[in-house]
Amino acid sequence: MKFVDEFRDPEMAKNALDRIHALVKEIPKAQQQPLQIMEVCGGHTHSIFRYGLEELLPKEIELVHGPGCPVCVLPMGRVDDCVAIAEQPDVIFTTFGDAMRVPGSKKSLQDAKAAGCDVRMVYSPMDALNIARQHPDKRVVFFGLGFETTMPSTALTIKQAEKEGIENFYLFCNHVTIIPTIKAILDSPDMYIDGFLGPGHVSMVIGEAPYRFIAASYQRPLIIAGFEPLDVLQSLVMLLEQLRDGKAEIENQYKRIVPDGGNHAALKAVGEIFELREFFEWRGLGSIDHSGVQIKAAYARFDAEREFALPNVNIADPKSCQCGEVLKGVIKPWQCKVFGKQCTPETPLGALMVSTEGACSAYYSYGKINHQQLDR
């Protein structure tokens, strides 16, 4: 299949792996302790486990699964807010499918639907707007979720609603932005990351320039990476070459998709509708300044946070849930006490087990789980 098979060629993968194994031997630090390499995006986490790449890497590399799965970093309190909106009698609550099962403190959106709320799965914000057109007697709320990848389509939907004068459409905005989050990781005293595989889809929108501070101020390399197995392996080769040579640069392995300057039309739409929030709460990472966006005052009438009275309470994760430690790379998913026992993709306790891009779900689905270890 064109543009897929070429990136899954076993011979080329073997060559890349040989190169990776040779390169780590040339990096002095890797001889003392494993290099900590964070794949920022949940799409990379999924690919790494789906294709068994982690097992093929040398012991000198430790992959840290980053915060780039928007469902996984959603705190419980925001899920409770969704449920509170959905429970209003005149509301149709619309959401992407993987957000349906994220546990809130009492219930998920799926539970709310089972209890009789009108919660509907949609594939795009435009689907939600269409529902609003069809049901002028209802308040239709779209659960806006995701990084810069999905922000433009939400922004364009708000613009379309404004253009058509649709008055029963609202956005519950939970869009987040990746750059302050990477900065928070770099500033965290708990974590030391030697280099990053940068998010391919987000970069398609924002381009290369926003990452330059990582090299300039923190002296760490970042490779914008594609999602096929050879993309990931080639990006690791590029990263290791920089570490061997003592360089810290931003490079783009995913040039077939990511233009240097990003997508100007998408950025313009985002800038028109959204502004940065002062801070946003992340599951496992706490509050990060300027890491979320909200609707600008000019479009306030579409803002669900103004339309509905929300609980808006910070809820701590259950004690048994170690999502935060997994997100920070402090433990591996299978080291969480409830992994594969109380917490499975069918019965997720934590958000990392819900989305296919979540590290726990990827480990569970594709990793070689040691069941004896789990039984202990």
User: Given the rule CB under 6 A, which residues bind ligand SF4?
Assistant: 321-323, 326, 333, 336, 338-339, 343, 349-350, 352-353, 360
Q: Tell me whether residue 100 or residue 336 sits nearer to ligand SF4 (CB atom).
A: 336
Bridge partner residues of 65 (DSSP): 39
The helix-helix angle for 125-134 and 151-164 (nearest 10°) equals 20
* CA–CA distance, 350 with 108 (Å, rounded to integer): 11
* Strands ordered across the beta sheet of 169-175: 119-121, 91-95, 139-146, 169-175
Shortest distance, CB of residue 355 to ligand SF4, whole angstroms?
Answer: 10
Q: Tell me whether residue 23 or residue 79 sits nearer to ligand SF4 (CB atom).
A: 79
* CA–CA distance, 108 with 255 (Å, rounded to integer): 39
Residue 372 CB coordination number (10 Å): 7
Q: Tell me whether residue 211 or residue 339 sits nearer to ligand SF4 (CB atom).
A: 339
For ligand SF4, which residue has the nearest CB? 350
Q: Tell me whether residue 140 or residue 145 sits nearer to ligand SF4 (CB atom).
A: 145
Q: Tell me whether residue 24 or residue 145 sits nearer to ligand SF4 (CB atom).
A: 145
Q: How far is CA 178 from CA 115, 208, 289, in A?
A: 35, 13, 12
Shortest distance, CB of residue 129 to ligand SF4, whole angstroms?
Answer: 33
Q: Give yes or no for a contact between 12 and 168, defined as CB atoms under 8 angstroms apart.
A: no
Q: Name, in order, each residue with C-beta under 8 angstroms of 257's C-beta and a sequence gap of 6 or more.
A: 200, 204, 226
Shortest distance, CB of residue 102 to ligand SF4, whole angstroms?
Answer: 10
Shortest distance, CB of residue 334 to ligand SF4, whole angstroms?
Answer: 8
Q: Name, in order, each residue with C-beta under 8 angstroms of 250's C-beta and a sequence gap of 6 or more.
A: 198, 208, 211, 212, 214, 215, 221, 222, 223, 224
Shortest distance, CB of residue 335 to ligand SF4, whole angstroms?
Answer: 9
Q: Which long-range contacts (CB under 8 A, 24 or more apart) does 365-374 make?
A: 365/49, 365/50, 366/49, 366/50, 366/52, 367/49, 367/333, 367/334, 368/55, 369/334, 369/340, 370/334, 371/340, 373/334, 374/334, 374/339, 374/340, 374/341
Q: Tell me whether residue 27 or residue 64 sits nearer to ligand SF4 (CB atom).
A: 64
Shortest distance, CB of residue 68 to ligand SF4, whole angstroms?
Answer: 16
Tell the residue number behind the tokens 């979320």, with chain if given: 292
Q: Tell me whether residue 48 or residue 326 sits nearer to ligand SF4 (CB atom).
A: 326
Q: Tell me whether residue 57 or residue 359 sits nearer to ligand SF4 (CB atom).
A: 359
Q: Tell me whether residue 72 or residue 238 sits nearer to ligand SF4 (CB atom).
A: 72
Residue 55: burial class (beta carbons within 10 Å; 0-12, 13-18, 19+): exposed
Shortest distance, CB of residue 46 to ligand SF4, whole angstroms?
Answer: 15
Residue closest to 132 by CA, chosen among 307, 350, 373: 307
Shortest distance, CB of residue 360 to ligand SF4, whole angstroms?
Answer: 3
Shortest distance, CB of residue 354 to ligand SF4, whole angstroms?
Answer: 8
Helix, strand, coil shares, percent, the chain, to 5:
45, 20, 35
Bridge partner residues of 179 (DSSP): none
Shortest distance, CB of residue 277 to ligand SF4, whole angstroms?
Answer: 25
Q: How far is CA 91 from CA 104, 119, 121, 153, 310, in A?
A: 19, 9, 14, 22, 14
Q: Tell me whether residue 304 or residue 351 sits nearer to ligand SF4 (CB atom).
A: 351
